[in-house]
């Protein structure tokens, strides 16, 4: 099976982010056909359309990393019942300039951990609305809202609770299959593509 290149975002800029720990765990538990590269967001200035005529290096690197990825995974906390500002800023950069939306048709997954019991559910709902507008297909099930408990995750991403490890392994297997389905559906000459209308081609 061909290797799929997955770009992933960690929505927190904190050095000790529990979502960075979760990202390490997901990579350890993922199928062997997924290859992961983090897409950094900390050096991006706040987006303004004043940059559209000449993107800074960090903005260009962000778009190139997304476009080079077969799929995108968001691993993020929830800030004030929504998407963290740094992550939303990165999404805004990647969607611009107008007509060059880097997320279009990219298969995506959303997952997050929180010390609270709702485990980023509201952030994920907000993120789904944004990604839908950006024409980015999403893995809708299984949903994963991690209530981060001390002792379950090691700093290196080791998952010490077998039930949690099994659940996250299942999520990554489903995400891998979803990425393959979307890529196959988007492939040129896909069997489901409509035949061209010769009348329209001749106009």
Name the residue ranges covered by the structural domains of the chain. 4-200
Contact 138, 108 (CB under 8 A): yes
Give the separation between CA 200 and CA 90, rounded to whole angstroms: 39
Q: Are strands 34-38 and 4-10 parallel, antiparallel or unpaired?
A: parallel
pLDDT tens digit sequence for 15-72: 999 999 999 999 999 999 999 999 999 999 999 999 999 999 999 999 999 999 999 9
| Residue 105 backbone zone (phi > 0: left; psi -120 to 50: alpha; other: beta) | left
pTM for the model stands at 0.90
Residue 188: band (very low, low, confident or very high) from pLDDT cuts 50, 70, 90: confident
CATH number of 4-200: 3.40.50.360
pLDDT tens digit sequence for 1-20: 689 999 999 999 999 999 99
């Amino acid at each position: 099976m061909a290797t799929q290149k997955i770009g992933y975002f960690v929505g927190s800029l904190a050095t000790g982010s529990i979502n960075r720990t979760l990202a390490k765990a997901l990579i350890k538990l993922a199928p062997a056909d997924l290859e992961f590269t983090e897409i950094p967001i900390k050096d991006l200035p706040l987006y303004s359309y004043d940059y559209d005529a000449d993107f800074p290096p960090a903005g260009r690197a962000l778009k190139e990393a997304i476009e080079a990825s077969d799929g995108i995974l968001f691993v993020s906390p929830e800030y004030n019942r929504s998407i963290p500002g740094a992550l939303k800023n990165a999404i805004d950069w990647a969607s611009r300039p107008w007509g060059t939306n880097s997320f279009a048709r990219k298969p995506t997954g959303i997952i997050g951990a929180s010390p609270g019991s709702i485990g980023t559910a509201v952030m994920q709902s907000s993120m789904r609305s944004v990604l839908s507008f950006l024409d980015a297909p999403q893995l809708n099930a299984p949903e994963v809202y991690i209530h981060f408990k001390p002792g379950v995750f090691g700093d290196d991403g080791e998952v010490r609770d077998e039930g949690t490890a099994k659940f996250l392994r299942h999520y990554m297997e489903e995400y891998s299959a979803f990425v393959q389905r979307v890529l196959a559906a988007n492939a040129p000459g896909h069997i489901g593509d409509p035949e061209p209308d010769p009348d329209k081609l001749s106009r």
